[in-house]
Amino acid sequence: MAWAKRRETELSEPGAVERGYRVGRTVKQMIERYLVEAEKARPLGETKRRTLNAIKNSYLGEMVDSDISQQVLADYALWLMSPAGGGIKPQTAGNNLVYLSSVLSLARAA
């Protein structure tokens, strides 16, 4: 009952129904667009470009934006530090998330 009431309130907000019909974008699509658009403003560093390409080609690249949460990002960082994800150091995993956050922030604004 509480869920239904909360959902009715959410749907009563302007534009809520239209957002419900919105087609999500994958992380891969967002990164590809970011790489094109960001290069127009100024060249990206090789490390950032390489890192974003690695992210888009990982399992995270196939996820839809609406499925991305803090928990998903934390799990991704843990996976990167595991042997299956390459066994990178925590600092490097953190840098990967910083690079990804610039993509997600720009995509959210767009």
pLDDT digits (tens, 9 = 90+) for 11-37: 677 765 555 555 689 999 999 999 998
pLDDT at residue number 14: 72
- Do the domain assignments include residue 105? yes
- Distance separating alpha carbons of residues 29 and 61, to the nearest angstrom: 8
pLDDT at residue number 93: 96
- Do the domain assignments include residue 12? no
Torsions phi, psi for 64 (to 5 deg) = -85, 145
pLDDT at residue number 15: 62
- Do the domain assignments include residue 19? no
**Other CB atoms closer than 10 Å to residue 78's CB: what's the count?**
12
- Do the domain assignments include residue 4? no
- Do the domain assignments include residue 61? yes
Range of the domain at 58: 25-109
- Distance separating alpha carbons of residues 61 and 76, to the nearest angstrom: 11
Which segments in the chain show pLDDT lower than 50? none
| Coil, strand or helix at 103 | helix
- Do the domain assignments include residue 9? no
pLDDT at residue number 9: 76
pLDDT at residue number 96: 96
Domain count, the chain: 1
The radius of gyration computed from the CA coordinates of the chain, to the nearest angstrom, equals 17
- Do the domain assignments include residue 16? no
- Do the domain assignments include residue 11? no
pLDDT at residue number 107: 79
